Structure 1
Amino acid sequence: MSSTSILLLCVFLYFVGLLIIAYFASRGSDNQSFFIGNKKSKWWLVAFGMIGTSLSGVTFISVPGTVGKMTGTEYIYGGFEYYMMVLGFFVGYFVVAFILLPLYYRMNLTSIYTYLGKRFNVEAHKIGSLFFIISRSIGATARLYLVVNVLQIFLLQDLGVPFWVTSAVILLMVLLYTFEGGVKTIVITDTLQTSFMILSLIGCIVYILSHLDLSATQAYSILAEKQYTHLLNTDINSKTHFLKTFFGGMFITIAMTGLDQEMMQKNISVDNLKNSKKNMITFAGTLLFVNLAFLFLGGLLYLFAMENGAVYQQITNLVNGQETISNVFGFKDAAGNVNNIMGDDLFPALSLHGYFPLAIAVIFLIGLTSALFPSADGALTAVTSSYCVDLLGINEDQTKTEQQKKRLRMRVHLTFTVIFFILIMIFKAINDKSIVYLIMEVAGYTYGPLLGLFAFGIFTKYQINRKGWILAVTLLAPVVTYLLNQLVINYTDYRIGVELIIINGLLTFIGLWMIRHKNRS
């Protein structure tokens, strides 16, 4: 049996295992099981499973790739600079735990956007849900595309399998094991997938250290000498200035976790607020260590590659009529030609092109597959839940029986699976090589209005009574943010990074303040 056949068999067996677990976990499920797990989820299961959801394939592939100089039209990340964003994430999780979770539990919410309806009006409720659906659909499919593309390029392309077939099959897998149980199922399956992801991470680190005959301390010292571990970017004009990435990371967490139905539906499925807080703080602390391990792995991958015939070369690109020089990482083949390896390709290229032994390739693939499913199953369940609860009002509909509601929810679930497939194909057409950065930038535009809307509701007592004005503000704020970003790019040396979400949220808040009702509620 060929190595490719063995790897594909491992993916198949992994999925069969998920289906078996999903079958037993989803027995006796109803709509409340699908939406919030009947509020019976164990906090430690949710905390551990959320690691996989938060990390996904982006962390598994892109974060190690950020350690070296990334290719492209400009310098994006290098060294351990990304860790400043992770520290921002950590602070953001405390804000979620001690400000947002108490609010959600006090109001006993199924959908967190119900808060906007009770605080403002139905318009705000539906707008919040719509921005979430757009945001999560784009973010989840970008993550999913990254992993599907790796499987396609390194395993299935040589077998003649088209990309669209790979995407469709994987989405069908996700649909099958989330179709019935929803949150009740994914709390358990995400725990399994997180376990495999972390075991894969540890296995790859141990193998590379052994192959290089280095201890972890010795490897870190070498990485430090090669400037692969620098943490602080002090260039204020750079997108990755340490203050930008720290505060940007903090607000991204508040928005992409605390104001995100996918992440919060798992938290509010825990039986009480105290345990939900424990879940969030445990999860936050664990992510500090896991992300650091992924960055360390990234450094080891570059050391391993340079030990095994890797070379750097410079490529001249023409961008907007100007020449730019990019450092590209690559390997020489038998004919002496250099095959270019960019940031997101480094880990899979080493794992699946024969540089690692088959056992490590299997470990990598299982970890990658484990990273794939949590980024898709929770998102698919969450957008289905939000559309049904927030936009269709399925919980309040007294004209339908529970069986009719269930059939409607399943049709919505299937529809979003098709939408996810279309978005993956769009990302394939875009073919961006730095998904980790792209996701953060897109989040700045789509989650910013949610950030401003929730902040205005929580920190002021004003009402917005004018029909259509909330929609106008939340649509205008991202447009103004984009125009401001273009002005900065064209007329200054400053570059807006992940602080984009702060600017967008602030513009939304200011816009709501300008149309507020004069009388306090």
Structure 2
Amino acid sequence: MSIPGTPVAQFTVWDYVVFIVMLLISASIGIYHAVKARGQQSNSQYLLGGRQLTAVPVAMSLTASFMSAVTVIGTPAEVYRYGAIFLIFCFNYVVVTIVSAEIFLPVFYRLNITSTYEYLSMRFNKPARYIGTSFYIIQTVLYTGIVIYAPALALNQVTGLDLWGILVATGLVCTLYCTLGGLKAVVWTDVFQMGIMISGFMAVIIRGVVIQGSFERIWNISYHGGRLNFWDFDPDPLRRHTFWTIMVGGSFMWTAIYGINQSQVQRYIACKNQCEAKLSLYLNMVGLWITAICAVFTGLTMYSNYHQCDPLTMKQVKAPDQLLPYLVMETLHDFPGVPGIFVAAAYSGTLSTVSSSINALAAVTVEDLIKPHTSLSDQKLSWIAKGLSLMFGIICIGMAALSSLMGSVLQASLTIFGVVGGPLLGFFLLGMIFPCANATGAISGLAVGFLLTLWIGIGGQIYPPLPDQTRPLPLSIEGCLVNITELPEPVTGSPWTTINPVSELNSRPAIADTLYSISYLYLSPLGTMVVLIIGFIISLLTGGRKNKVDEKLLIVKRDLLCCFRSAKTNVHSKTEITKENLHGIADSGKDNPTFSDQELNYSEKENHIQSTTRL
């Protein structure tokens, strides 16, 4: 056990070598795909890999994108302080995968779209598309900057890595391979980075088992410390994490990510057929299970090491997100290069998330804001997309730098990222479920839902829940080698909290202990339901939809498990005419009129082709 005040080990030459090699391999993948596609890379090839990707690499890419550095560093700290109830998310992932694969994927895939927000112009009108795109760009730039900066700060304060040198280096490497190689580079780099991240987790777990003597001892220490709190069925919506908040709230939150978020959807619609796309989501579910189990076991390993001497209480670390880097440097410093593997794992999480964001930001900007207003060739659009990737990469690095100067904005940005997903999910579901929904109702519902969740989210940061609702599980310092007479106040709140909230009881309004204290996971279902209800009512009050909606834009029964009933046909090429017609209809800025006879005849032809290829 370390003594308070004793500096933890710093990075060695071998640790730097491991870290630099990870960056070089990531950059090399992008350069390889750029050279391979030299002179023949179209806009579709750059943004969607020519729609010829297969399930396994896409699945690993989806999982790697989910595993940001917040997951690698923050989840074990969450388990250390609040227990292993986080593992309930594994049930959550089953629901999210089925809904995304069987409901959202068939709609997006058959429309042959590049940006998910193209759907909004097909179903409603152009303003709806621009609103959805704007929401996505703002939240993604803010969140990506924080994803770059927050782990860099945590690792700098524990390992001694130069903050700005590593921040700029990782940002530039990520921007380089995204700009040069496009989606294929992003996907295959994610595959490599996924392996690095799992290796980082396993290094910590294996070392913990060696220190404790067996995994059984880690499990027993965690059990007696109250960390195996899997089955908490308290229905109180004010409780931060219970079975119900995770299953209900978490399902909506992650469906908004896997169902409609451009960063995730862009990967599986790039698969060569719908069956491969669905398979990628189901394989991704297995990847999410592995990720969650590794993160939780890492947290339990950390608790077994510090269950009698908490580094937070002893001021050995300043914040919860520094716990895991501290553990790595303390227990693995005798193994040259192994701490470098962990730091490479943390930054692999950052690279995979940032690369996904940059590629997706370029895609939505080209498809939603540039392509509809120009007649540029596919080759020129490809070059524009590369330029946008470079631009967004630089913007995200700048946002990371700006984050260091905006303490209160960091938490506000994360709050915005959390509250946008629910209303946007409702926005899409309204169009896919209710044929009578019109643009007026949809946009009105989105506005009400977003303002409500934003109000609650910001209110919850200004007036955080009472300590009884967010208090961590007990932590001990009885086994520390040095006693201290004055202990700091217990660390509370999120690992990423950087603001000083108004916590005095006499200054709290009554609403702070009810609506503002609701679990953050319930913001997504609340936003979704408000958009559906308000959007449906206003659509009826404004006359509903006056023209029939094409069936391709709705969720239909035959979408379910369709790839097991038909041969592997490439839907993209067969629906291109319909997509162009839909875009032409949406250009009017009004609700889409009835489809033309030409379009209906094309739909009948497509159905005939599909029926002749059934097994």
* TM-score for both structures, normalised by structure 1: 0.84
Q: Is contact 1:137-1:420 (8 Å) kept? A: yes
Partner of 2:119: 115
Q: Is contact 1:342-1:433 (8 Å) kept? A: no
State the 1:361 CA deviation. 1.0
Residues 148 and 194 (structure 1), Cα distance of their counterparts in 2 relative to 1, 3 Å cut = same
State the 1:349 CA deviation. 1.2
Partner of 1:449: 423
Would you say 1:10 and 2:33 are equivalent positions?
no
Partner of 1:371: 349
Gaps of 5+ in 1: 70-77, 313-327, 331-337
The CA deviation string for residues 471-510 of structure 1, in whole angstroms up to 9 with x for no partner, is 5543342222344564775253853321101111222223
Residues 357 and 144 (structure 1), Cα distance of their counterparts in 2 relative to 1, 3 Å cut = same
State the 1:122 CA deviation. 1.1
Partner of 2:278: 277
For residue 126 of structure 1, give the secondary structure of its aligned residue in structure 2: helix
Residues 490 and 343 (structure 1), Cα distance of their counterparts in 2 relative to 1, 3 Å cut = same
Partner of 1:195: 195
State the 1:155 CA deviation. 4.1
Residues 200 and 355 (structure 1), Cα distance of their counterparts in 2 relative to 1, 3 Å cut = closer
CA distance in 1, matches of 2:346, 2:50: 30
Residues 150 and 491 (structure 1), Cα distance of their counterparts in 2 relative to 1, 3 Å cut = closer
Partner of 1:343: 320
Partner of 2:358: 380
Query: Superposition pairs for residues 65-464 of structure 1, below 5 Å?
Result: 65-69=77-81, 78-156=82-160, 161=162, 163-214=163-214, 216-235=215-234, 236=236, 237-306=238-307, 310-311=309-310, 328-330=312-314, 338-353=315-330, 356-359=333-336, 360-393=338-371, 397-398=374-375, 400-430=376-406, 439=414, 441-464=415-438
State the 1:423 CA deviation. 2.6
- Which among 495, 512, 519 is matched to residue 535 of structure 2? 512
For residue 67 of structure 2, give the secondary structure of its aligned residue in structure 1: helix
State the 1:519 CA deviation. 4.2
The CA deviation string for residues 223-249 of structure 1, in whole angstroms up to 9 with x for no partner, is 111111112344413122321121111
For residue 240 of structure 1, give the secondary structure of its aligned residue in structure 2: coil
CA distance in 2, matches of 1:272, 1:506: 32
State the 1:150 CA deviation. 3.1
Residues 145 and 89 (structure 1), Cα distance of their counterparts in 2 relative to 1, 3 Å cut = farther
Partner of 1:31: 43
CA distance in 1, matches of 2:409, 2:88: 22
Q: Is contact 1:62-1:434 (8 Å) kept? A: no
Q: Which amino acid aligns with 2:73?
A: I
Partner of 2:56: 44
Residues 19 and 166 (structure 1), Cα distance of their counterparts in 2 relative to 1, 3 Å cut = closer
State the 1:282 CA deviation. 1.5
Across the aligned residues of Structure 1 and Structure 2, the Cα RMSD in angstroms comes to 2.7
Q: Which amino acid aligns with 1:179?
A: T
For residue 180 of structure 2, give the secondary structure of its aligned residue in structure 1: coil
Q: Is contact 1:474-1:508 (8 Å) kept? A: yes
Residues 130 and 406 (structure 1), Cα distance of their counterparts in 2 relative to 1, 3 Å cut = same
Q: Which amino acid aligns with 1:199?
A: S
For residue 270 of structure 2, give the secondary structure of its aligned residue in structure 1: coil
For residue 143 of structure 1, give the secondary structure of its aligned residue in structure 2: helix
For residue 84 of structure 2, give the secondary structure of its aligned residue in structure 1: coil
The CA deviation string for residues 39-81 of structure 1, in whole angstroms up to 9 with x for no partner, is 1111111112221111121111000001133xxxxxxxx1012
Q: How many residues align?
A: 477
Q: Is contact 1:86-1:246 (8 Å) kept? A: no
Q: Which amino acid aligns with 2:451?
A: V
Residues 483 and 154 (structure 1), Cα distance of their counterparts in 2 relative to 1, 3 Å cut = closer
State the 1:37 CA deviation. 0.8
Gaps of 5+ in 2: 1-9, 460-508, 549-615
The CA deviation string for residues 11-35 of structure 1, in whole angstroms up to 9 with x for no partner, is 2221111222222223213321221
Q: Which amino acid aligns with 2:230?
A: L
The CA deviation string for residues 288-343 of structure 1, in whole angstroms up to 9 with x for no partner, is 23202211110111212347xx346xxxxxxxxxxxxxxx444xxxxxxx423532
Q: Which amino acid aligns with 2:42?
A: D
For residue 182 of structure 1, give the secondary structure of its aligned residue in structure 2: helix
For residue 521 of structure 2, give the secondary structure of its aligned residue in structure 1: coil
For residue 181 of structure 2, give the secondary structure of its aligned residue in structure 1: coil
For residue 231 of structure 1, give the secondary structure of its aligned residue in structure 2: coil
Q: Which amino acid aligns with 1:115?
A: Y
Deviates more, 1:379-388 or 1:340-349: 340-349
Residues 407 and 211 (structure 1), Cα distance of their counterparts in 2 relative to 1, 3 Å cut = same
CA distance in 1, matches of 2:529, 2:103: 19
State the 1:134 CA deviation. 2.2
Deviates more, 1:264-273 or 1:230-239: 230-239
The CA deviation string for residues 232-270 of structure 1, in whole angstroms up to 9 with x for no partner, is 344413122321121111111110121111111110111
CA distance in 2, matches of 1:278, 1:488: 49
Residues 188 and 491 (structure 1), Cα distance of their counterparts in 2 relative to 1, 3 Å cut = closer
For residue 15 of structure 2, give the secondary structure of its aligned residue in structure 1: helix
CA distance in 2, matches of 1:392, 1:89: 35
Q: Is contact 1:444-1:504 (8 Å) kept? A: no
CA distance in 2, matches of 1:170, 1:232: 40
Residues 276 and 419 (structure 1), Cα distance of their counterparts in 2 relative to 1, 3 Å cut = same
For residue 520 of structure 2, give the secondary structure of its aligned residue in structure 1: coil
CA distance in 2, matches of 1:444, 1:455: 18
Q: Is contact 2:106-2:274 (8 Å) kept? A: yes
State the 1:428 CA deviation. 2.8
State the 1:164 CA deviation. 4.3
Q: Which amino acid aligns with 2:213?
A: D
CA distance in 2, matches of 1:137, 1:81: 31
- Which among 490, 512, 530 is matched to residue 490 of structure 1? 512
The CA deviation string for residues 351-407 of structure 1, in whole angstroms up to 9 with x for no partner, is 23566433431221222222221011111110111111112226x732x23443233
Q: Is contact 2:49-2:184 (8 Å) kept? A: yes
Residues 250 and 50 (structure 1), Cα distance of their counterparts in 2 relative to 1, 3 Å cut = same
- Which among 467, 473, 481 is matched to residue 453 of structure 2? 481
Q: Is contact 1:43-1:276 (8 Å) kept? A: yes
For residue 533 of structure 2, give the secondary structure of its aligned residue in structure 1: helix
State the 1:91 CA deviation. 0.9
Q: Is contact 1:223-1:229 (8 Å) kept? A: yes
CA distance in 1, matches of 2:196, 2:152: 18
Residues 484 and 409 (structure 1), Cα distance of their counterparts in 2 relative to 1, 3 Å cut = closer
CA distance in 2, matches of 1:150, 1:240: 24
Q: Is contact 1:125-1:390 (8 Å) kept? A: yes
Q: Is contact 2:193-2:349 (8 Å) kept? A: yes
